[in-house]
Structure 1
């Protein structure tokens, strides 16, 4: 497992998130609490093994614009060095459209879901994005 500087990883994850938002070419409100460092659950709790997660959403946009943004990701991610490893629906009852991609070196992954308010009773439509790093040891 790679030894990396946590602040560098956090910066790179946030840069990847920004680039994904640019690829989507969508105008709406964006939630952004910033990237957070979390322990990798698959490793012993005594080990100093972490990953950086950056969850955010785009909302207050017509669903048709969100669908177009997902299409732009389908074509744009591979051009930017990402491999789409899943393009279908998630496991929710609404079967929301989902794209999962990994960066070429697999240092990063992105999970994008379109949550359509027509399939949910109370929640507004949004595109939910989570960019995360691979697990790493701190230096």
Structure 2
């Protein structure tokens, strides 16, 4: 990311890679939101993770989403994923893995291992 001479960035992008489990029924039709907290207290707004003309978070998907955080973010601390909206009947979701990168530098793994979320739930992944 480049800025004009003397300009100060007001935000950076965090790249989140989210793997949905391959098991049949692991995908979700719910809306998934992310909120990032940094070690120094900087944070992101609640961000809908959604790609245009794409069915996000289906079984076996490995998707990357960009979330803007305050430029003062020193290191990722927590990523909160929450489910809401969409069809509650088809909303359960099995996350296989979650990782993130700040300013292109991969951060320690947030979590690995399968975790089911049901409609209305959220999960905090600690760095």
Identify the structure with the greater helix proportion. Answer: 1
TM range (shorter): 0.3 to 0.5
Identify the structure with the greater strand proportion. Answer: 2
Q: What is the TM-score when the length of structure 2 is the normalising length?
A: 0.32
Q: What is the TM-score when the length of structure 1 is the normalising length?
A: 0.30
